[in-house]
Structure 1
Amino acid sequence: MREYTNMTAESVWNNCLEFIKDNIQDQAYKTWFTPIKPIELTKENSLCIQVPSKFFYEWLEEHYVKILKVALTKQLGPEAKLLYKIQMESANTGKQPFTEQLPSAQRSPVKPQELDVPIQNKNPELKNPFIIPGIRNVKIESQLNANYSFDNFLEGDSNRLARSAGLAVANKPGGTSFNPLLVFGGVGLGKTHLAQAIGVEIKDLYPEKTVLYISAEVFTQQYVDSVKKNTRNDFIYFYQLIDVLIVDDIQFLSGKTGTQEVFFHIFNHLHQNGKQVIITSDKAPVEMQDIEQRLLSRFKWGLSAEIHHPDFETRVKIVEGILFRDGVEMPKEIIEYVAQNVSTNIRELEGAIISLIAQSSFIKREVTLDLARSVVEKFVKNVKREISIDYIQTVVSDYFDIDPITLRSKTRKRNIAQARQLAMYFAKKYTKASLASIGSQIGGRDHATVLHACRTIDNLIETDKEFRRHHDDINLKFNM
């Protein structure tokens, strides 16, 4: 054991900092080491340091544990230990320390109630990292659209699970097993509406809670700006203040390693402190590409609820709701005609109704079935029709002159297997169906088989000229 004469926590830590500063970039040093305070030096070769938050502690353990160990060993010998103290505040017990020992491989699990809550001793002049109209330093506007509510989010078989889970979350944010709540589905099916409706309901029921709705694209841009302006810590601290975080189109984070990293730690902080996270995506977690596995695993902690294309009865209700909102009356047969012929998504259904009302107003004619046929026919021509998986199988089978039943069979003959893989590839490209749904409809395969098929086709297109010609010929048929 080393002699502790004239050694203090401050002197040991300052010597560690000199070593660390010589071995990392200046900005990293300023961000992650200058906020640390030495607290105590014990005779058991342990140095206790204080860090601002649990996130801060996790980041040090994940990125700088080796250099910390080397620096401390130089000062206190091979048996040196590093303890962390994180200031926490509890309504019942006040502040209490959280200590952990280096290296991280020796850590024991931490009980949820021991984790830190809102950051202490934060500079009251802390600037908001956002550039969003309506958000100030202290008062945080939710960015919610009050027009998106549960009242005008009609329930049907296509969205019943997602809507019910959303209501449960709104009534008890952070207190259900639906945390996070991931709502996924195709374009124009109501994901954004539902996510915002949850936020609006929470604000009504719990006005004291801080709710923030933001798109993943804006989140990414704000993170990039914070890095450029050296305000990354402010950005992180700001998000740790949120009680209910709603992130739209989370798939936008694909391939953005830095943004995923910071979102991972923000997510952990919120979840561990009982805050609610709601995210939307145009695809299921299993289909998200270029998203880190540890982030995807957290998306699966709660509930993933898919919103499907609305059935006919739901589309009728939607049309009736639009007409009621706009104070327009329309015969039942016309409502049903529009609902029957515009079946892709809710956004296009609303567009068709608005076009019909506008046409009637412009030409000063009563809305008739003939007018509806004319308007819907023109509208549908201008909207790319959704290509079904059945249609894709028919096109591919006809091209290779094989029977669709044979295409879906278990045979592994090379020509049939490649045709089957092409069908899966085009189904993924031209439909919003999940990989599991595609595999199920094309011979009862699983999602992994479909993913493998898509990768195989991508490789063949790059390496086999004849196969690329087959691909291009079939592809043209879907774009005529």
Structure 2
Amino acid sequence: MSNLHNPPTLNSISPLGFWDDAIGILSRELSPQQFKTWIQPLTLLSQEDCEYSLTIGAPNRFKLDWIKKTFADRFQELAAQHFGRPINVNFALAPEGAPATQNTGSTPIPEAAMAMLQPSTSPEPDTTTSLEEGAFEIGDHSKLNPNLTFETFVTGKANQLARATSIQVAHNPGTSYNPMFLYGGVGLGKTHLIHAIGNHLLKEKPNARIRYIHAEQYVSDVVRAYQQKAFDRFKRYYHSLDLLLIDDIQFFSGKSRTQEEFFYAFEALLSNKSQVIITSDTYPKEMAGIDDRLISRFDSGLTVAIEPPELEMRVAILMKKAISEGIPMSEDVAFFVAKHLRSNVRELEGALRKILAFVRFHGREVTIDVARTALKDLLSIQNRQISVENIQKSVADFYSIKVADMYSKKRPANITRPRQIAMFMAKELTQKSLPEIGELFGGRDHTTVLHAVRKIADERAHDSQLNHEIHVIEQTLKA
């Protein structure tokens, strides 16, 4: 690490050195599929106008938006660690012909093929990588991340049903629940669970034909098969799997040819009693741009939601991951972070990386004050995101009642229940105390709020429909 008093500039440490280090670190942190899909196509663009600035280029608008949303904080941390001071990392579309992190070769995709796969309004996937001769052979790698197992999955009320059914499927593939459809917001553990199922089956049956694939990569496979007139090989591979794990199926939206090929693969696998497991950020019947016959097939098996982790689970996740990083975190610090960051596990991991980078750089111990300083910008954003007023409006809109009904003394069931749900969400998603929440709901006593919170929490544990409704409202609030 560089000297704290004389931090190096981009002129004294090569940006290419940073890029090599960053790519190496991310290749170890991500699964091979994730790395190939998201990181490998990126380019380090030169910067001449700012001494402490770098720009990373993405090959298309879709990948640019995704990288900014998902990996911006991580690149910022890696740059700060490498150069010994904060670096402004920007993201932009790479100019045509800019080399990616690895030269994978490219072959133009016929416009007719892309037109069949892509709606005119959606971003195109990266489909320039040429098809390897054996890409669809049975011996192809499973693409599983060996670190994502049931043992490394932190369990709580929010995901215990999803974990239990995943274990059941892992022990009885093709018979217990087929297909299995996991849905929930970003960073809640869907990908971890389906990798865990694959790893368990691979351990039990080393010769099992397993494939994990992100939906966007499946689209690319269809494009390349079309390009090279290799659909027989494509079908032979995908139709003969023992276990197909497909992540983020919502990426199929509007891609009619991809959906058609997946439908045939889906039917073939189920008829062979092979297991199909699908994840999405949306409940099947609410997915836009997906063919009705596919939605019907998705709904024919078991559909399980994964909810945002509750407080105790978030604390457990933080403490476990801090230990794995070699810098244990006390329970009071973990509670402080978990109380402020409520949305998903990925957000918690990002916060933990910020704290650990801060303490390593400054040689400090992990305390609440240090955590508050390290997460200053993140906590400021969180505090602005969700208010009780926004919750009241979102719940009222969802249940088609007036916002004024949240404060009124009316007690019909069609008003009382949404009001209780709003109180529950206010307690879960804000830092307000029970008396403060009661005051914002028409001056109600804190015991009324407590009753509502306990009632909805108890019902949510047993009522999948209520679970889903609250999940949808939360996604609306965080959009």
TM-score range, shorter chain: 0.5 to 0.7
- Mapping of 1:96-245 within 5 angstroms? 131=131, 135=135, 137-176=137-176, 178-245=177-244
CA-based RMSD of the aligned residues comes to 3.9
Alpha-carbon spacing, 1:388–1:437, altered in 2? closer, same or farther (3 Å): farther
How far apart are the structure 2 equivalents of 1:248 and 1:261? 17
Q: How does 1:261-300 map to 2 (within 5 A)?
A: 261-300=260-299
> Per the alignment, in what secondary structure is the counterpart of residue 304 of structure 2?
strand
SS of 1:197's equivalent?
helix
Offset at residue 396 of structure 1 (A) = 9.8
- Most deviating of 372-381 and 239-248: 372-381
Whole-Å separation in 1 of the counterparts to 2:467 and 2:371: 34
1:404 aligns with: 406
CA deviations on 1:120-143 (whole Å, 9 max, x unpaired) are: xxxxxxxxx984799574512101
Match of 1:317 in 2: 316
Q: Report the CA distance shift for 1:183/1:130 in structure 2 as closer, same or farther (over 3 A).
A: farther
C-alpha distance in 1 between matches for 2:340 and 2:134: 41
- Code of the residue aligned with 2:300 in structure 1: it is W
Structure 1 letter corresponding to 2:290: I
Q: Which residue of 2 aligns with 1:416?
A: none
Taking the aligned partners of 1:192 and 1:132, their CA distance within structure 2 comes to: 26
- Quote the offset at 1:236 in angstroms: 1.3
Letter in 2 for 1:404: M
Aligned mates of 1:256, 1:384 — CA distance in 2: 38
Q: Deviations over 1:186-240 (max 9, x none)?
A: 0111111111111111100111210000111111111122122222222112111
Aligned to 2:353: 354
Do the aligned residues in 2 keep the contact of 1:264 with 1:295 (CA within 8 Å)? yes
Mapped pair 1:334 → 2:336: no
* Closer/same/farther in 2, CA of residues 248 and 358 from structure 1, 3 Å limit: same
Query: How many pairs align?
Result: 302
Report which stretch shifted further, 370-379 or 268-277. Answer: 370-379
Using the alignment, how far apart are the partners of 1:214 and 1:408 within structure 2?
51
3-state SS of paired residue (2:155): coil
C-alpha offsets along residues 71-115 of structure 1, whole Å, 9 cap, x if unaligned? Answer: xxxxxxxxxxxxxxxxxxxxxxxxxxxxxxxxxxxxxxxxxxxxx
**What is residue 257 of structure 2 aligned with on the other side?**
258
How far apart, in 1, do the equivalents of 2:160 and 2:293 lie? 29
Contact 2:305 2:468 in 1 (8 A): no
Q: Residues of 1 paired with 2:279 and 2:367: CA distance?
A: 39
Summarize the alignment of residues 361-372 of structure 1 with structure 2, pairs less than 5 Å apart: 361-372=360-371
CA distance in 2, matches of 1:279, 1:237: 20
Deviation at 1:403, TM superposition (A): 4.3
Work out the CA distance in 2 between the residues paired with 1:297 and 1:251. 15
1:86: which partner in 2?
A: none
- Pairwise CA distance, 1:331: 2.2
Q: Using a 3 Å threshold, how does the CA distance of structure 1 residues 346 and 146 change in structure 2: closer, same or farther?
A: same
Quick check: 1:135–1:141 contact (8 Å CA) kept in 2? no
Tell me which moved more, 374-383 or 130-139: 130-139
Partner secondary structure for residue 277 of structure 1: strand
1:376 partner letter = L
Percent identity reads: 37
SS at match of 2:293: helix
TM normalised by structure 2 equals 0.56
CA distance in 2, matches of 1:478, 1:288: 18
Q: Is the 8 A contact 2:136 2:238 kept in 1?
A: no
- TM-score normalized by structure 1? 0.56
| Partner Cα separation in structure 1 for residue 204 and residue 351 of structure 2 | 35
Q: Which runs of structure 2 are paired with 1:72-87 in the superposition (5 Å)?
A: none
Q: Where in structure 2 are there 5+ consecutive unaligned residues?
A: 1-128, 415-421, 423-459
Distance 1:407 1:225, change over 3 A: farther
Distance 2:361 2:187 in 1: 27
